[in-house]
C-alpha cells in the first residue's frame, strides 16, 4: 500500500464549525475504504454541539477537558479518558462545561455519517 494511502493529512480532512469557535474534522469511512467514521472535535469553554441523531451508534472519547453529554433522557458529565456511548437514532448533544478546551474523538459505526439536527434544539 503506498504511503499516500496510509496517512490522511489533517489538512485533507473536511472541517466544520458545529458551534461558534469549535472545530470538527470528519473522516468519512466511505472515502477511505473503511466501515467507520472518525470525528475529532475541539470546543472552547461554553460551546455546545446541537442536538442531533444518526442511524449509526457512536463511541465518544473525551481526550481533554470536561463535557456534559445529553443522550436521550440521560445527562452525564465526562472527563479525560471517559467514553460516552450513543446508541443509533438517539438524540444527543454535548457541551464544554469546563474552563479549558474540550477535545473529543468519536468513532461511528458505518462508512457514512448522516446526521439529522433536532427541529428545536434544547441545548443550553
Give me the CATH number covering residue 92: 2.60.120.10
Answer whether residue 117 is part of any domain.
Answer: no
- Of the candidates 62, 59, 69, the one whose C-alpha atom is nearest the C-alpha of residue 42 is 62
Calpha distance 101→65 (Å, rounded): 6
Task: Specify the pTM.
Answer: 0.90
Count of the separate structural domains present in the chain:
1
- Which class for 1: exposed (0-12), middle (13-18), buried (19 or more C-beta within 10 A)? exposed
Nine-digit cell string for 32: 477511505
Q: Which residues of the chain have pLDDT under 70?
A: 1-4, 120-124
Calpha distance 111→37 (Å, rounded): 6
Answer whether residue 118 is part of any domain.
Answer: no
Answer whether residue 42 is part of any domain.
Answer: yes
Answer whether residue 123 is part of any domain.
Answer: no
pLDDT of residue 16: 95
Answer whether residue 61 is part of any domain.
Answer: yes
pLDDT of residue 113: 84
- Of the candidates 4, 19, 3, the one whose C-alpha atom is nearest the C-alpha of residue 123 is 19
Residue 94 belongs to what domain range?
A: 3-111
Amino acid at each position: 500500500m503506498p504511503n499516500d494511502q496510509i496517512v490522511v493529512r489533517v489538512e485533507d480532512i473536511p472541517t466544520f464549525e458545529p458551534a461558534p469557535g469549535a472545530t470538527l474534522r470528519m473522516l468519512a469511512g466511505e472515502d477511505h475504504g473503511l466501515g467507520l467514521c472518525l470525528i475529532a472535535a475541539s470546543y472552547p469553554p461554553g460551546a455546545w454541539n446541537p442536538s442531533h441523531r444518526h442511524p449509526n451508534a457512536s463511541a465518544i472519547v473525551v481526550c481533554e477537558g470536561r463535557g456534559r453529554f445529553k443522550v436521550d433522557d440521560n445527562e452525564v458529565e465526562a472527563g479525560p479518558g471517559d467514553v460516552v456511548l450513543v446508541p443509533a437514532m438517539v438524540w444527543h448533544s454535548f457541551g464544554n462545561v469546563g474552563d479549558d478546551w474540550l477535545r473529543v474523538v468519536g468513532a461511528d459505526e458505518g462508512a457514512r455519517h448522516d446526521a439529522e439536527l433536532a427541529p428545536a434544539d434544547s441545548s443550553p
